[in-house]
Chain A
């Protein structure tokens, strides 16, 4: 089967392009009921009638006059005639209830001379609101094919697929106003452009990103000669097009009289109220954190028990020797230390997905906009900050839809402070161990502390933004222009899929890393420099001549671990971590966290089970019991006590431990300067706050 066609999906933000993309290609690209989720092009394929169709999903754009990085992507794909991404056909997706804005983009794309199909998405919703469209007349008037769809349910998708294959008219109706005819001709001749509207864009755009400097200079000279002011012409074109669209819509679209306020507006009176809205948001957050503890405790306990039994079983059936020890004491406890957190990750993403699907996330963006401004951030920064709860990498990329360079940079730099899903396992286990099972005014203390840690991350992001705004100057401020989507019942298929995808990514991502890390740790822990390592029994007996049996075996195992290569590395870094209240084993855990934060607990589980002999089922402990029992040789107290636990929590709240995030910041800012500053700044704050906390609380 050969590739026959390339199509691009374009449309305003949050009209359901990605849902349509998923329906067409069968992929599961992230969707949500708020604008700005797609910030880069995504490619998928489907086949129909033995032909292969490549589908490019583009970020949302209001017009072909880009004001942010994501809108630039749309402009480049549709106008760069030399690019291999230039589509053969464009599907303009419009929200059927808000056709006016959709038709502006539709008209511009059509005038580029690319064959266009107009898709009216969410048609059921629009019709239930009283919209009556005369489709036949509208098709004639717009000279296009119109397909109605509901991308959430899949309605209209097969018709769209068939339409994509059929012949589509590409007659453009743009003709430049008389004073500009000459300049357009010159541009057309210079660049060998057939389409006058494309040449028009070369003239009225601020920048044509894909042209080389020589061509850019040519255009700038022409602009000067003809005294072109791009912004003014862009505004004029937009106004003219809207006049035309208004006339068309008045003729072919009617609205049934409805005096009742829509349900969405009624709900929004409360949910976006400047006081009650915030109270409800905090209440929802608390509910999420409460659920994270209460709903997950039983499955976590079952998983923990399962891995302990698996360890015992592996130890029993495998022949005595190093492989037995590697699997039973290294790999299984390590992997168990990661898998145990799957229920909490699933619960977190269940709530996030419901908030996105219902449209509540857009209200959170609106509510928090006001709070962001004093800190040098605009409402648009809220989208990356909120996305940071899942993972900092797509969140940093989401900053592409911020027009103002300073605000975009600040958003990129502070987003990693937001608690991502990878920190949750560390918070959860530490809170479980150091915070008592108490209630404050009926609220669980553990849930309150967890919520406090999330809020501390937000506070750190805001304060850092406040500091950064004094160093990074900007001439103008951006504003938040946000269209509130209608509330909708979540599509449970999307919710389940999102939870499944996240849990799978967690198990496969962190699970593979801990598997590899435990193998390396075991080898380093089971071997050491000779002759000291090989004289463990001799040395232990010399120091404790009266020891025997189990006690002696445990002492020898402890001695061996201490004098192993792993012990040597741990002791080398101990002076750095000791003032924070950690022993050398925790230091190793911190280093392994650079591979993935969530493997910290797995690493500790693996190291602690290496330092002792576990002959019977009763000897083997669950992860939490193992961590509680471990004594820090430097202090004589449990390794995770209140002081060291708080210190560790603070370290994880602030520290920049994610190489992928640093690399993404490098990609987005095109310099290593900012990721370097970020690394030093965040890790510095983490170290100092952990140090102060431990020294005060010990």
Chain B
């Protein structure tokens, strides 16, 4: 049971980190759905 709680704890931390990152990127205007840009080109578009 303890192992299960440890796994859940890691998942929760991961989820919080991911959502926090998403929120920060949202404020930069990044779209969660890709919005016409493939990930590949987004990475290369850092001019």
Contact = CB atoms under 8 A, between A and B. Distances in A.
Contact of A394 (B23, B30, B35, B44): B35
B32 A323 contact: no
Given A27-B40, A505-B34, A517 B1 contact: no
Contact of A391 (B16, B26, B35, B38): B35
Given A43-B47, A323-B4, A393 B22 contact: no
Nearest to A497: B38
B22 A506 contact: no
Interface stretch (A204-212, A297-305, A507-515, A688-696): A507-515
Interface in B11-47: 11-12, 14-16, 18-19, 22-23, 25-38, 40-41, 44-45, 47
A512 B19 CA distance: 9
Contacts of A390: 35-36
A73 to B, nearest CB: 10
Given A513-B32, A659-B27, A520 B12 contact: yes
A27 B11 contact: no
A251 to B, nearest CB: 41
B1 A321 contact: yes
A326 interface: yes
Contact of A30 (B19, B28, B32, B36): B36
A663 B33 contact: no
B32 A660 contact: yes
B15 A516 contact: yes
Contacts of B5: 322
Contacts of B29: 393, 660, 663-664, 666-667
Most chain-A Cβ atoms within 10 A of its Cβ — which of B36, B40, B45? B36
Given A42-B45, A326-B8, A517-B19, A422 B27 contact: no
Contacts of B32: 509-510, 513, 595-596, 660
A321 B4 contact: yes
A663 B27 CA distance: 5
Say what secondary structure dominates the interface of chain A. Answer: helix
Contact of A85 (B4, B44, B47): B47
A309 to B, nearest CB: 23
Contact of B31 (A323, A393, A517): A393
B40 to A, nearest CB: 6
A596 B38 CA distance: 18
A506 B31 CA distance: 11
A252 B22 CA distance: 57
A390 B23 CA distance: 21
B4 to A, nearest CB: 4
A512 B15 CA distance: 9
Given A322-B5, A513-B19, A660-B26, A27 B44 contact: yes
Contact of B34 (A323, A326, A501, A515): A501
A148 to B, nearest CB: 27
Given A322-B5, A663-B28, A43 B44 contact: yes
B1 A513 contact: no
A44 interface: yes
Interface string A26-48: 01111000000000011111000
Given A27-B44, A43-B45, A44-B41, A660 B15 contact: no
Contacts of B1: 321-322
A519 B11 contact: yes
A571 interface: no
Interface in A637-672: 659-660, 663-664, 666-667
Interface residues of A, number: 46
A519 B31 contact: no
A502 B31 CA distance: 13
A390 B31 CA distance: 12
Given A27-B40, A595-B22, A659-B23, A322 B8 contact: yes
A421 interface: yes
A509 B44 contact: no
A504 B28 CA distance: 22
B19 A659 contact: no
A323 B15 contact: no
A323 B8 contact: yes
A505 B27 contact: no
A67 B25 CA distance: 31
B33 to A, nearest CB: 4
Contacts of B22: 513, 516, 595
B38 A27 contact: yes
A664 B38 CA distance: 18
Contacts of B8: 322-323, 326, 523
A595 B31 CA distance: 10
Contact of B11 (A326, A504, A659, A664): A326
A27 B36 CA distance: 12
A664 B25 CA distance: 11
A512 B33 contact: no
A114 B22 CA distance: 42
B47 to A, nearest CB: 6
Contact of A41 (B16, B30, B47): B47
Contacts of B11: 326, 519
Interface string A592-611: 00011010000000000000
Most chain-A Cβ atoms within 10 A of its Cβ — which of B1, B11, B16, B18? B11
Contacts of A663: 26-29
A683 to B, nearest CB: 17
A516 B18 contact: yes
Contacts of A321: 1, 4
Contacts of B30: 660
Contacts of A394: 35-37
B4 A501 contact: no
Q: Nearest 9 CB-CB pairs, A to B? A: A505-B34, A516-B15, A659-B26, A663-B29, A519-B15, A323-B4, A391-B35, A509-B32, A664-B29
18 contacts: A41-B47, A43-B45, A45-B44, A319-B4, A322-B4, A322-B5, A326-B8, A391-B36, A505-B38, A520-B15, A520-B19, A595-B22, A595-B23, A596-B33, A659-B23, A659-B26, A663-B29, A664-B29
Interface of A: 27-30, 41-45, 85, 319, 321-323, 326, 390-391, 393-394, 421-422, 501-502, 504-506, 508-510, 512-513, 515-517, 519-520, 523, 595-596, 598, 659-660, 663-664, 666-667
Given A513-B22, A596-B33, 14 more contacts: A27-B40, A27-B44, A42-B41, A42-B45, A85-B47, A322-B4, A391-B31, A391-B36, A421-B33, A505-B33, A513-B19, A520-B19, A659-B23, A663-B28
Interface of B: 1, 4-5, 7-8, 11-12, 14-16, 18-19, 22-23, 25-38, 40-41, 44-45, 47
